[in-house]
Structure 1
Amino acid sequence: MTLQWTAVAFFLYAEIAVNLILCIPFISAKRWRSVFNLSIWNWLSPYWNKCFFTMIMVLIVLFCDAVREVNKYSGPESMQDAKVNPNVYDHVHMKLFRAQRNLYISGFSIFLWLIMRRVVTLLNQVAVTLENSAGLEAQMDNAVKAAKQHQDDNLMLKQALLDEEKSTSAKNQQLKLEVEKLANQVKAAEEALRKSHAEVEAMRRQAKGLAQEYDRLLTEHHQLQNLQSAADKKDQ
């Protein structure tokens, strides 16, 4: 295996190892996000896209070269020469095997390189989604607590209004009883005043009758005096 294909093979093994590590179930997406947010990755982030596309181009070139080699050693001309010379037949099959091996190595390297980038992106998205969901859950808990508090406040307000209504009803009932009591007292006072007016009118009539009787008696007294005086004069 030449140096370039040895490097591609080691690159493929590294990709397999990294993808297996990224797929470990007990390492959460938040943990991976904290790893990806290290300062070294922030320093390498401006070069990440360039490195990614450079490796894609290199692997595509090697893949195309492997495809060319496979087509070269699997073509009819190579097989025709191999049938003439048995040594050439073994050599052609060895070259074809190596070309196919290189094709698989470069193809899987491209595939795993894209998969690794996608896995890293998905892990970041999952971590962000979990953080947002945690924030939303906290907001929802706060909203539920606030709603429960408002509900308790509404119940307390309803209870206070009900107590106030009962108290007002009791006060109104008491005021009604007091008004009825005062009305009865006013009615009794009016009745007593009416009786007093009747008694005063009766006393006035009685006083008027007494005055008339007094005048009559006084008139008779004057008449008797006059008669007595006239009788005394006749006797003299």
Structure 2
Amino acid sequence: MSLQWTFIATFLYTEIFVVALLLLPVISAQRWQKIFRSRLLNAFRSYSNLYFNVFIVILLILFADSIRDVRKYSEPKEEHDLQSNPGAETALNMKLFRAQRNFYIAGFSLFLFLVLRRLVTLLSREAQVCAANEALKRQAESASNAAKQMMEEKEATQNSKNEKDEGAELEKKLRQSQQETSSLRSDLKSAEANLSAMKSQAQSTNKAHDHLLEEHRKLQEKLDQLEGKDGSRKDD
């Protein structure tokens, strides 16, 4: 195998290994995105399109050359040439085998190179989509938390307002109760004053009544004495 086809075969084996590695489900797209953006590969990113186009051109040239060789060695040879040179048929078959081998190597290398580029692009897009989804998820969570906090603050404000209203109503009722208590105390004091006045008046009335009874008793005694004297005079 010549040097160029040895290089293409090595490149093919490398492509197979890299494609199999990219297809592993253990490594996520975000990790591959970090690897693609690492310092090691950062130098090749600015010239990636140039490298890709150069490799595509090289693989296309080698693929076209392998097709030309296959067609060249697949053409039928004249029988008298083969009969005059018995080893020519073996050499021709060997060359045809090598041409077909080179054709498959170049074809699969070209195909896997396109697949490899597509895989890298899809992994990068998947990583970007996952990052965008994570950002949207965090944004939705923050919006939900903010809405929840606003609802809690609104409920707290409403509860505080209700408590203030209840406190104002209780304070109003307390003032009314205090006013009613003051009014009742005034009425009680007035009733006690009236009761004291009535007691004093009753005591005065009792004293006057006792005095009148005493006067009546004295007058009755005087009257009895006078009647007793008049009866004794009449008897004389």
Aligned to 1:13: 13
The TM-score with structure 2 as length reference comes to 0.64
Residues 1-236 of structure 1: matches in 2 within 5 Å?
A: 1-75=1-75, 77-78=76-77, 80-81=78-79, 84-85=82-83, 87-164=87-164, 166=166
> Structure 2: which 5+ residue stretches go unaligned?
181-236
Task: Give the counterpart letter for 1:26 in structure 2.
Answer: V
Q: Is the 8 A contact 1:82 1:89 kept in 2?
A: no
How far did residue 161 of structure 1 move? 4.1
Q: Is the 8 A contact 1:81 1:88 kept in 2?
A: no
How far did residue 62 of structure 1 move? 0.6
159 and 82 in structure 1: CA distance in 2 versus 1, 3 angstrom threshold: farther
Partners of 1:27 and 1:81 in 2: CA distance: 59
Higher relative contact order (CA 8 A, sep 6+): 2
Q: Is the 8 A contact 1:74 1:96 kept in 2?
A: yes
Percent identity reads 37
How far did residue 81 of structure 1 move? 4.1
Task: Give the counterpart letter for 2:93 in structure 1.
Answer: H
How far did residue 169 of structure 1 move? 6.2
171 and 7 in structure 1: CA distance in 2 versus 1, 3 angstrom threshold: same
> Structure 1: which 5+ residue stretches go unaligned?
182-236
How far did residue 108 of structure 1 move? 0.6
Deviations 1:134-166 (A, max 9, x none): 222221111111111112122223334444555
How far did residue 37 of structure 1 move? 1.8
Task: Give the counterpart letter for 1:92 in structure 2.
Answer: L
Deviations 1:114-153 (A, max 9, x none): 1112222222222222222222222111111111111212
Q: Is the 8 A contact 1:29 1:124 kept in 2?
A: yes
> Number of paired residues?
181
Deviations 1:161-216 (A, max 9, x none): 444555566678889999xx9xxxxxxxxxxxxxxxxxxxxxxxxxxxxxxxxxxx
82 and 30 in structure 1: CA distance in 2 versus 1, 3 angstrom threshold: farther
How far did residue 60 of structure 1 move? 0.3
Q: Is the 8 A contact 1:33 1:127 kept in 2?
A: yes
How far did residue 32 of structure 1 move? 1.9
Partners of 2:167 and 2:47 in 1: CA distance: 78
Instruction: Give the stretch that moved more between structures: 155-164 or 127-136.
Output: 155-164
